């Protein structure tokens, strides 16, 4: 009882009050000989749905806005996402994708029909942001578009026409229509989702039924020019639905599919998700438990895929992940606007470490969502824009993009416990980039103890170490429009390299990126 009271008192106080380190050090051995896979840059991708203020007011303000913009796209958003090195952006949904008919969003804006966004708040969607706006925006961002097609309420012909509209340079009705709408050359869109959450808002289908639908849609989606082979992604499982993955892998010919999706959110309780910024230690622990479940999910789904695809040709695409909480008080419940705290930074850091370490199968992942929705990297309010703790983690971790994974083993004797439950306090991943520089990313989810880390780097011949850290006094800390830089990265001085041994003192609730050469 006394220990419980002390923990409740401790949670939320400053990190300086917890300088005592955990009893057992964490030993990590980084392999210098094992040849790991390349960590695909697309693991660091994002998601933008027609939901709340994600598109309108987030990315897009219109070309008559006083907010500085390029063809209606906010310049400050573009600059921030380019610095973060956003590799790909998924659009237009989400659930919205299976009610979206792409022809409503092309041609003169004043002639586009309006619809009701039945999934998200029942608001009017005027279709002023459509295919050209999204694909041109991706060019501004330097990001590859990932277009989610409508299977739930669309047709095979509709999706096949969309592929041709965006990718074909030959003489045909769709390329002629694109040219008439002001775009001469195609965008060369590679990534295409064949529906979204077919088990739920995408049609409430069975796995067997959807597998047959996918076969049909995929057959007609090839680029007729034969150039730039498209990457077709099946609507995959909800968290631990392993039968869904098994059914798709067994029933879809492998020449028709390049990727299969997986969705998992760090949700405490779908009926009581709790506040994004005012939460107890118990709720924090539960969130981290759900986030760390991603490792088991990826492992088990990958094992099923290995049975049918031992050469790992088909990618596992985790195209929706992140923390999901109650919306902020006074906001539209259908807009899914939530604050973003150090808890979210730790969810991001641990999850990205998991994806990196499974880079042999996970080759794309899309954080949900990019702006003003769920675990955003950017929040906007009229002309104001702030970067969230999650943004900073994604920006810090971009050193792993297209680097070679250095497999590591963790002897994680130190755990973060509550009651009879324990979670690993430390997560890590490592890579070597094309210039030979090694990067190691570390997280400590324990809110009360620093962790002493002993890394063995034998065979890597490293001489210098530097680093950056993201941490704050409380797990609930976050940036606001009045205090936009309360949580931001700073130089990290807690690492010491002696020969092949690297000692790190990792503060409570922290994310660290180390650079070694």
Residues with catalytic function = 197, 320
Question: What does the radius of gyration of the chain's CA atoms come to, in whole angstroms?
Answer: 23
Helices (H), 309-439: 342-357, 389-397
CA distances from 91 to 80, 218, 352, 464 (A): 19, 18, 21, 42
CA dist 90 and 283 (Å) reads 30
Tell which residue, 113, 114, 213, has the closest CA to residue 154.
Answer: 213
First CA to last CA across the chain, in angstroms?
49
Contacts from 207-212 at CB under 8 Å and sequence distance 24+?
Answer: 207/243, 207/244, 207/247, 207/248, 208/247, 208/251, 210/234, 210/235, 210/248, 211/247, 211/248, 211/251, 211/252, 212/251
Tell which residue, 289, 300, 282, has the closest CA to residue 265.
Answer: 289
DSSP 204: -
CA dist 266 and 320 (Å) reads 11
DSSP 320: E
CA dist 51 and 117 (Å) reads 8
């Amino acid at each position: 009882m006394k220990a419980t009271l002390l923990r409740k008192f401790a949670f939320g106080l400053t990190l300086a009050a917890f300088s005592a380190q955990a009893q057992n050090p964490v030993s990590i051995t980084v392999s210098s000989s094992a040849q790991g896979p390349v960590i695909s840059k697309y693991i660091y991708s994002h998601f933008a749905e027609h939901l709340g203020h994600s598109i309108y007011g987030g990315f897009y303000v219109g070309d008559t806005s006083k907010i500085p913009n390029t063809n209606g796209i906010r310049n400050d958003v573009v600059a921030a996402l380019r610095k973060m090195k956003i590799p790909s952006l998924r659009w237009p949904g989400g659930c919205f994708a299976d009610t979206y008919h792409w022809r409503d969003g092309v041609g003169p804006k004043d002639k586009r029909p309006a619809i009701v966004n039945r999934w998200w708040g029942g608001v009017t969607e005027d279709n002023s942001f459509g295919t050209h706006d999204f694909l041109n925006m991706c060019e501004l961002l330097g990001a590859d578009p990932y277009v989610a097609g409508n299977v739930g309420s669309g047709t095979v012909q509709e999706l096949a026409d969309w592929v041709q509209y965006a990718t074909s340079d030959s003489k045909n009705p769709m390329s002629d229509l694109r040219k008439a709408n002001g775009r001469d050359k195609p965008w060369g869109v590679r990534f295409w989702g064949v529906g979204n959450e077919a088990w739920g808002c995408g049609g409430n289908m069975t796995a067997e039924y959807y597998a047959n639908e996918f076969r049909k849609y995929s057959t007609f989606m090839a680029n007729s020019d034969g150039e730039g082979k498209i990457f077709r992604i099946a609507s995959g499982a909800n968290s631990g639905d392993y039968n869904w993955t098994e059914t798709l892998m067994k029933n879809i010919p492998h020449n028709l599919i390049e990727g299969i999706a997986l969705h998992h959110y760090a949700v405490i309780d779908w009926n009581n998700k709790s506040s994004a910024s005012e939460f107890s230690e118990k709720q924090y622990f539960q969130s981290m438990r759900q986030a760390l479940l991603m490792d088991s999910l990826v492992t088990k789904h990958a094992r099923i895929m290995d049975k049918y695809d031992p050469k790992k040709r088909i990618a596992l695409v985790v195209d929706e992940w992140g923390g999901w909480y109650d919306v902020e008080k006074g906001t539209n419940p259908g807009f899914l606007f939530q604050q973003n705290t150090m808890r979210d930074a730790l969810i991001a850091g641990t999850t990205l470490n998991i994806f990196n370490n499974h880079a042999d199968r996970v080759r794309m992942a899309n954080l949900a969502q990019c702006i003003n929705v769920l675990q955003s990297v950017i929040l906007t309010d009229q002309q104001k824009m702030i970067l969230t703790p999650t943004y900073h983690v994604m920006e810090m971790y971009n050193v792993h993009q297209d680097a070679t994974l250095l497999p590591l083993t963790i002897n994680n004797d130190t755990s973060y416990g509550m009651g009879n439950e324990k979670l690993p306090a430390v997560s890590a991943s490592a890579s070597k980039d094309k210039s030979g520089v090694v990067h190691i990313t570390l997280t400590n989810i324990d809110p009360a103890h620093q962790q002493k880390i002993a890394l063995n780097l034998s065979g890597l011949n490293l001489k210098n170490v530097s680093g950056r850290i993201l941490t704050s006094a409380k797990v609930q800390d976050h940036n606001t429009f009045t205090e936009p830089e309360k949580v931001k990265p700073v130089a990290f001085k807690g690492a010491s390299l002696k020969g092949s041994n690297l000692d790190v003192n990792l503060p409570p609730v922290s994310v660290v990126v180390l650079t070694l050469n």
